[in-house]
Amino acid sequence: MLTRPETSNRSEIVGVLKAFIAEKDYAAGDRLPPERELIERLGITRSQLRKALDSLEQEGVIWRHVGKGTFVAGAGSMPDAGLFADIGQRITPVKMMRARQCIEAVIAREAAINASREAVAKIRKIKERARQARSWREYEAQDDLFHQAIAEAADNILLLALFDQLNTARRAVAVSIVIRETERPPENHTSFAEHDRICAAIENRDPKSAHDAMWQHISSVSKRLFGEV
């Protein structure tokens, strides 16, 4: 049996949750128990659990689908995860961004068709958290969650799996350290308006606009980072 954490340290609770997943031998695609059950079994508060789940989602250990539950992600445990990581080591950053354009633009289009009201609300909430981020690191974490939430909103398990594997490759791409001139994204950071357009298109059930907005967003990010599209 797992022992209950004696402190509220987030890293310890994350460790306890990881140990629970390993102990129960959950595999990629398996759904975790409901929050209430996890709270009782792990002896933690709802707030502690949700913060730990946020951390695991950012690490790619789990993914969450509004209305369906929390699932173990496949990035680290699927048989071909190593293949995608290897691809990430051999592809250029610009070509990686082109791949993201092709896949994520389609995902955004599907999200505009299939997203539930709860999924749209989640996208909007994360978008606002990104805008309010107090550091670049916090912004980048919320930006990752924004794109993840759109992939979940598409409500297509195969597209979500492709998105997860794309992220596996993306994390392996060697990118030069970006020099930031400010501690946090400025108020006129172009991605804020781009996120607004993507979210609005999905909320308005406009597949073409969602596709085009995501395509332009990733193009803009690529041009900003690498000077190419």
- Domain of 117: which CATH number? 1.20.120.530
> Which single residue is written with the structure tokens 């596709």?
211
User: Do 38 and 125 belong together in one domain?
Assistant: no
User: Do 144 and 162 belong together in one domain?
Assistant: yes
Could you tell me the two tokens for 177?
A: 């350290």
For residue range 44-70, what is the model confidence (pLDDT) as tens digits? 899 999 888 988 887 778 887 767 788
pLDDT tens digit at each of 229 positions of the chain:
444 443 446 778 888 888 888 888 887 778 899 999 999 888 889 999 988 898 888 777 888 776 778 888 764 444 455 556 567 667 888 898 999 999 999 999 999 999 999 999 999 999 999 999 989 888 888 898 899 999 999 999 889 888 888 887 777 675 555 667 788 999 999 999 999 999 999 999 999 999 999 999 999 999 988 776 5
Counting the structural domains of the chain, the total is 2
> Which single residue is written with the structure tokens 């049996």?
1
User: Do 204 and 153 belong together in one domain?
Assistant: yes
Query: Domain holding 40: CATH number?
Result: 1.10.10.10
User: Do 186 and 210 belong together in one domain?
Assistant: yes
User: Do 150 and 205 belong together in one domain?
Assistant: yes
List, in sequence order, every residue forming a beta bridge with 65; answer none if it has no partner: 69
Structural domain of residue 38, as residue ranges? 10-72
Give pLDDT, residue 173. 72
Give pLDDT, residue 159. 92
Asked, for residue 169, whether it belongs to a domain, the answer is: yes
Give pLDDT, residue 77. 42
Select from 20, 48, 72 the last residue of a domain. Answer: 72
Give pLDDT, residue 9. 67
Give pLDDT, residue 178. 60
Asked, for residue 48, whether it belongs to a domain, the answer is: yes
User: Do 67 and 110 belong together in one domain?
Assistant: no
